[in-house]
């Protein structure tokens, strides 16, 4: 019976730590009261009882478990500290938060996004693209709306990235080969009589020269 008392003591210690750091709801407190009632019942029952060899062995095993209980308590305390830090960060989203706190948070968020996101589809150097995206995002009216949700903010920021990608390609589809405008299409032909003559001649050097000219016309960059 003394072993049950030791075991229920461990449960009470863990439950107290759980209530203090993780969840102090009614269910957790009710479970703690249940453990306390069991504790009183076991203490009353173990008076006058003798300790046999098996009970002594179980008591030693419970003593070894106490180290794990202390580790669990530290885990609960770390959770409480992390949760408090998270609540502090997101406190700017409260309804009574002032405009100054929201503006500071938005600027820090835009700076973080501009530094961590690398857009490979953009033709600009990624350092220039990130800097330009930061300046444009701070001036974009759709990102200044303080009533929108985080999902709406993310969607608007993704639209901004897509627009900057299209702008870097001069509003032309990068997947279409030789996608030039009317002026380039009228002055540069992917296939003309000179390339045709060299390509279908029997000489290998002329064919290679025709392939080189064709590649230069199709991919001028």
Convert 27-44 to b/e letters by CB count within 10 Å (16 or more is b). eeeeebeebeebbeebee
- Model pTM score: 0.40
Buried b (16+ CB within 10 A) or exposed e, 53-68: eebeebeeebeeeeee
52-61, 160-169, 193-202: segment of lowest average pLDDT: 52-61
Judge contact between 126 and 119, C-beta under 8 A: yes
Whether 72 has a pLDDT exceeding 70, the answer reads yes
At 186, the pLDDT band (50, 70, 90 cuts) reads very low
Instruction: State the pLDDT at residue 90.
Output: 60
Helix (H, G, I), strand (E, B) or coil at 24: coil
Cα–Cα distances in angstroms (integers) from residue 202 to residues 129, 158, 207, 212, in the given order: 49, 54, 8, 16
- 195 confidence band (pLDDT: 50, 70, 90): confident
pLDDT at 188: 46
Mean pLDDT in the chain? Answer: 77
The CA-CA-CA angle for residues 172, 177, 178, to 5°, reads: 75
Higher pLDDT residue, 36 or 220? 36
pLDDT of 59: 59
Phi-psi region of 80 (alpha: psi -120 to 50; beta: other; left: phi over 0): alpha
| 72 burial level (CB within 10 Å; 0-12, 13-18, 19+) | middle
More confident residue, 196 or 116: 116
* % of the chain surpassing 90 pLDDT: 14
Q: What is the pLDDT of residues 87-135, one digit of tens each?
A: 776 655 555 555 667 788 888 899 999 989 999 999 898 889 999 999 9
Per residue in 79-100, pLDDT (tens digit) is: 888 888 777 766 555 555 556 6
- pLDDT at residue 119, rounded to an integer: 92
């Amino acid at each position: 019976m003394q072993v049950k008392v030791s075991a229920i003591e461990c449960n009470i210690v863990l439950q107290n730590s759980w209530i203090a750091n993780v969840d102090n709801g009614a269910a957790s407190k009710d479970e703690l009261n249940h453990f306390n009632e069991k504790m009183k019942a076991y203490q009353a029952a173990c008076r006058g009882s003798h300790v046999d060899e098996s009970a002594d062995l179980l008591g030693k095993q419970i003593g070894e478990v106490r180290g794990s209980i202390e580790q669990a308590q530290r885990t609960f305390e770390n959770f409480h500290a992390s949760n408090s830090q998270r609540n502090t960060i997101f406190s700017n989203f409260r309804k009574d938060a002032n405009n100054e706190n929201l503006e500071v948070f938005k600027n820090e968020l835009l700076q973080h996004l501009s530094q961590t996101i690398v857009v490979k589809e953009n033709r600009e150097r990624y350092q220039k693209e990130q800097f330009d995206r930061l300046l444009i995002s701070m001036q974009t009216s759709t990102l200044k709306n303080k009533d929108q949700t985080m999902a709406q903010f993310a969607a608007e920021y993704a639209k901004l990235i897509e627009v900057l990608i299209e702008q870097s390609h001069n509003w032309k589809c990068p997947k279409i080969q030789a996608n030039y405008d009317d002026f380039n299409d009228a002055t540069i032909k992917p296939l003309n009589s000179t390339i045709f003559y060299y390509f279908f001649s029997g000489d290998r050097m002329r064919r290679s020269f025709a392939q080189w000219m064709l590649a230069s016309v199709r991919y001028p960059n």
